[in-house]
Amino acid sequence: MEWDVKQLREKIQTTISENHSDQNSPISVPKVYEAICQILMELIEKDWSRTNQKYDETKPKQVFYFSMEFLLGRLLQSYLLNYQLLNTCNQAIKELGFDPEEIYYCEQDPGLGNGGLGRLAACFLDSTASLSYPGHGYGIRFRYGLFEQRIINGYQTELPDYWLKDRYPWEIRRADEAVTIQLAGHCYLKEREDGSLICLYENQEKIMAVPYDIPIVGYDNQTINTLRLWSAEPIADIEEQEEDQYYHQLEQEHSSWQISGFLYPDDSHYEGKQLRLKQQYFLVSASLQDILRKYSSISSATLPKKLVIQINDTHPSLAIPELLRILLDEKRLEWEVAWEITRKIFAYTNHTLMSEALETWPVDMFRELLPRIYMLIEEINERFCQDIWLNQPHLRQKIPSLAIIADHQIHMARLAVVGSFSVNGVAKIHSEILKTREMKDFYHLYPKRFNNKTNGISHRRWLVMVNPRLTHLISDTIGTSWVRHPRELTHLLRYTKDTFFLEQLHSIKQENKRKLAAIIHQRTGILVDDQSIFDVQIKRMHEYKRQLLNVFHILYLYNELKQNPKLDITPRTFIFAAKAAPNYYFAKEVIKLIHTVASIVNYDHTIHGKLKVVFLENYNVSLAEKIIPATDLSEQISTAGKEASGTGNMKMMMNGALTIGTLDGANIEMKNVVQKENMFIFGLKADEVYHIYQNNDYFANEVYQNDERLVRILHQLRDGLFGHQECKNIYYHLLSTNDPFFILKDFSDYVETQQLVDHSYTEKQRWLAKSLINIAHSGKFSSDQTIQEYATGIWKLRKG
Ligand SMILES: *Cc1c(COP(=O)(O)O)cnc(C)c1O
């Protein structure tokens, strides 16, 4: 941008005096924040309408990314960065006498997502705009985002996240573009005079969907795309109601507001709740109406040439039958024609292999809420099964496991595969498992549909924005062109033996660690040693992610130290952050256990502060931004075959952490680029896990009885860990379920590999070289790379 520090500072000052008539009241943090937002939004609005105008005129093919979640994080700083104004603004704020951080933290962090899936959607929007592609997001403007986590006495409690309590500066309500959503009621088919069928509805519930637009600013390219979030509101015509209608009306009003009321807090877990189904239909119905309105001047048959819709997991997969409905019932196309168009528009991203996360809806619930959509799914299913029966006789006996409707359930992943032209997994191993196991028969039916798009992260947010000192060091060393072309980070490989460079890398990490140590002290009262290894596991709390394995390692080390206080180990600080789904009992138990272990380890003077355990509450994007630049060791220890990709692994790699991990998800692709000597790989492989499940030949009891370290730990838990009775449940749960995630089986290899980490960290130069090698190869995991692959491989887009 054209401003220098002085100009921006003066602009902030004049904006403040325009906003606040009382010239005597002092300028304050909120006033500065408000002024900066205002200045920036003015700038954005100009480029935004220019971008929209350009799209209107040149009519490029566009992508629409449908997602129930967008975990955006705070936007002010990233907007400034993309406008090349971040350094200028930091300086201007300082000259006004404030701390930039304090100003940026006035912004609410909108928690409109659970974890990786929602954050991926946010990184994708950033990269799509930054690569000048015409692409936009569609989601829901939940009034309550993911709950705020408070830890009370070691237990998680959930507080509502009312993120809209102060005006959110980046959204613009577009009431004039509201659309009506219709649900429930009855529907029946009637013959028209010409013999065609018309669908008639009675007693439908009507809801208004009002769009709120958030600008998505591309990096220094004047492209501003749009994230459109829908708010559910009652239809306005309530003034003159008959008296007996009054309560009915109030009830309807209440149920309308509910639809965009809150985000369901389950990650990698599905719950068949009616309100959730309403939310999903609300999202897709509103978004499709909006899109078709934009394309009303072209014929339905040409739609697939002009737009593509990517659906983020199955949550928005109702878009498939909903578009079909519009083409049949409203555009009056023939089934074959309408189906062909529909199938050419949708591309589906699968995010999980875990059965408990696969969405299925009970037929009865579904039919009551979406009667017409149900009819259409029945017809899709009928034709699909017919086709197999007639044309794929060898698959006849597989029909029950392929059918979209089976066992009184609607299987959304099957619907998504049948109704789209592309099906992708999110890491190589994940896509392979889809083809060879989970969706094997679908793969044989539609081999060309399946492809891989390994996840990525925005290097602008997750490196340039969160780690300015490292960014400077890199740019001073290899120039700045890597910011546009992150693959050029590999130029850093020339410096792996440059002691001066490595020394600077070290000092940056140390400074980041000191900053995090200060935050830890301020929030928890725990003092941590910045010379210790910062060993970090931050992600949703889930059994498959195996935070419990990490805890077992801590207990092992503690037991060793108690036995031999002189034991020479590298001091470690174990840092956790994780939210558990509110009704996920076991996950909450593990949170409690971490706090219990912390309360024992942190205050035991006999171990001389060699171990510290820290749990930072309320994990979200803003907290991740603080922890990641300070991480030495990134824990990515999921049971192999369970983590589809992971993206936390990529963020920490990009900031110079070394990974200890299983061969799972994108860890495998990390290993392929950095080589195994620059990572710490351990544990069962995905095919070994698979075969154990198949053969049913794992006996958790045996494994633990034969390892005295495990006997000790498990008996400590069973006997109520140093007086903490609540830990008993974990012991009983683990053994009574036969350790389904192989914590006991992988324990020994994990501990050995951690011993390697311990030793490696003491070889400072070599550790730093490894750290640099990780940074140098992390450009592969920029979401720019991923989006480039989606754009050419699936979307067939040209740059705008
Ligand atoms: C990146 C990110 C995640 C995903 O982390 P994984 O380790 O891949 O599960 C979850 N939550 C937040 C806030 C994130 O920033």
Atom 5 (ligand 1): residue with closest C-alpha? 648
Task: Kindly state the average pLDDT of the residues 678-697.
Answer: 96
Tell me which of 782 and 253 has the higher pLDDT. 782
Nearest to 366 by CA among 289, 259, 280: 280
Give the contacts of 251 (CB within 8 A, at least 6 positions apart).
none
**Cβ–ligand 1 contact at 115 (below 6 Å):** yes
Cα 395 from chain centre: 36
The first and second tokens of residue 411, run together, are 């299987």
* C-alpha span between 180 and 194 (Å, rounded): 29
Q: Which pLDDT value is given to residue 250? A: 80
Amino acid at 463: L
In the DSSP assignment, the letter for residue 782 is: B
Are the beta carbons of 424 and 347 closer than 8 angstroms? yes
* C-alpha span between 543 and 274 (Å, rounded): 27
Q: Which pLDDT value is given to residue 198? A: 84
**Cβ–ligand 1 contact at 532 (below 6 Å):** no
Task: Kindly state the average pLDDT of the residues 762-788.
Answer: 98
- Write out the catalytic residue numbers: 351, 539-540, 545, 647, 651
Nearest to 515 by CA among 615, 609, 616, 629: 629
Pocket perturbation via mutation, ligand 1, pick of 458, 647, 660, 669 by most ligand atoms within 8 A of CB: 647
Q: Please, which pLDDT band fits residue 141 given cuts at 50, 70 and 90?
A: very high
The answer to whether the 295-453 and 471-695+705-716+742-787 domains have the same CATH topology is yes
Q: Which pLDDT value is given to residue 799? A: 86
* C-alpha span between 184 and 203 (Å, rounded): 8
pLDDT in tens, 61-117: 999 999 999 999 999 999 999 999 999 999 999 999 999 999 999 999 999 999 999
Task: Kindly state the average pLDDT of the residues 23-44.
Answer: 93
State the number of CA atoms in the 13 A half-sphere of 687 facing the CB. Answer: 3
**Cβ–ligand 1 contact at 624 (below 6 Å):** yes
The first and second tokens of residue 168, run together, are 């959110």
Pocket perturbation via mutation, ligand 1, pick of 74, 119, 633 by most ligand atoms within 8 A of CB: 119
Residue given tokens 């088919």 in the structure block:
189
Atom 11 (ligand 1): residue with closest C-alpha? 115
The C-alpha angle with vertex 158 and arms to 154 and 161, in degrees rounded to 5, equals 135
Fold of the domain built from segment(s) 295-453: Rossmann fold (3.40.50)
Atom 15 (ligand 1): residue with closest C-alpha? 621
Task: Kindly state the average pLDDT of the residues 620-640.
Answer: 98
Atom of ligand 1 nearest to the CA of 623: 13
Are the beta carbons of 640 and 662 closer than 8 angstroms? yes
**Cβ–ligand 1 contact at 621 (below 6 Å):** yes
**Cβ–ligand 1 contact at 785 (below 6 Å):** no
Alpha-carbon distances of 33 from 99, 100, 107, 460, 465, rounded to whole Å: 11, 9, 8, 22, 18
Nearest to 750 by CA among 655, 640, 656: 640
State the number of CA atoms in the 13 A half-sphere of 550 facing the CB. Answer: 36
Pocket perturbation via mutation, ligand 1, pick of 112, 537, 540, 631 by most ligand atoms within 8 A of CB: 540
pLDDT in tens, 341-367: 999 999 999 999 888 888 999 999 999
Atom of ligand 1 nearest to the CA of 646: 8
pLDDT in tens, 496-547: 999 999 999 999 999 999 999 999 999 999 999 999 999 999 999 999 999 9
Strand 224-234 relative to strand 422-425, pairing: unpaired
pLDDT in tens, 407-466: 999 999 999 999 999 999 999 999 999 999 999 999 999 999 999 999 999 999 999 999
pLDDT in tens, 266-325: 988 888 899 999 999 999 999 999 999 999 999 999 999 999 999 999 999 999 999 999
**Alpha helices, H only, 630-742:** 648-654, 667-674, 686-695, 700-705, 708-718, 728-736
**Cβ–ligand 1 contact at 539 (below 6 Å):** yes
pLDDT in tens, 153-162: 999 999 999 9
Q: Which pLDDT value is given to residue 623? A: 98
Q: Please, which pLDDT band fits residue 202 given cuts at 50, 70 and 90?
A: confident
In terms of phi and psi (left: phi > 0; alpha: psi -120 to 50; beta: otherwise), the region of 184 is left
Task: Kindly state the average pLDDT of the residues 251-257.
Answer: 83
**Cβ–ligand 1 contact at 579 (below 6 Å):** no
Fold of the domain built from segment(s) 471-695+705-716+742-787: Rossmann fold (3.40.50)
* C-alpha span between 142 and 772 (Å, rounded): 41
Q: Please, which pLDDT band fits residue 21 given cuts at 50, 70 and 90?
A: confident
The first and second tokens of residue 483, run together, are 């910011």
Strand partners, 681: 661
Atom 12 (ligand 1): residue with closest C-alpha? 115
- Parse the chain into domains and list their residue ranges: 295-453, 471-695+705-716+742-787
Give the contacts of 254 (CB within 8 A, at least 6 positions apart).
none
Are the beta carbons of 358 and 411 closer than 8 angstroms? yes
**Cβ–ligand 1 contact at 100 (below 6 Å):** no
Pocket perturbation via mutation, ligand 1, pick of 78, 117, 539 by most ligand atoms within 8 A of CB: 539
Residue given tokens 């998680």 in the structure block:
156
pLDDT surpasses 80 at 613: yes
Q: Which pLDDT value is given to residue 723? A: 79
Q: Which pLDDT value is given to residue 191? A: 86
Share of the chain above pLDDT 70, in %: 99
Q: Which pLDDT value is given to residue 357? A: 84
In the DSSP assignment, the letter for residue 583 is: T
Strand 186-191 relative to strand 197-202, pairing: antiparallel
Q: Please, which pLDDT band fits residue 240 given cuts at 50, 70 and 90?
A: low
Q: Which pLDDT value is given to residue 456? A: 98
The C-alpha angle with vertex 542 and arms to 538 and 273, in degrees rounded to 5, equals 120
pLDDT in tens, 709-747: 999 999 999 998 777 888 899 999 999 999 999 999 999
pLDDT surpasses 60 at 28: yes
Average pLDDT over the chain, rounded to whole?
95
Q: Which pLDDT value is given to residue 37? A: 98
Strand partners, 422: 347
pLDDT in tens, 575-610: 999 999 999 999 999 999 999 999 999 999 999 999
Atom 10 (ligand 1): residue with closest C-alpha? 115
pLDDT surpasses 70 at 1: no
Are the beta carbons of 616 and 574 closer than 8 angstroms? no
Q: Which pLDDT value is given to residue 284? A: 98
Amino acid at 401: S
Task: Kindly state the average pLDDT of the residues 663-691.
Answer: 97
Atom 1 (ligand 1): residue with closest C-alpha? 648
pLDDT surpasses 90 at 241: no
CB atoms within 10 A of CB 196: 10
**Cβ–ligand 1 contact at 88 (below 6 Å):** no
Render 167-226 in DSSP notation, one character per residue. PPTT-EE-GGG-EEEEESSEEEEEE-TTS-EEEEEES-EEEEEEEEEEEEE-TTS--EEE
**Cβ–ligand 1 contact at 136 (below 6 Å):** no
Nearest to 492 by CA among 463, 456, 534: 463
The C-alpha angle with vertex 651 and arms to 649 and 653, in degrees rounded to 5, equals 70
Alpha-carbon distances of 307 from 68, 100, 745, rounded to whole Å: 20, 41, 49
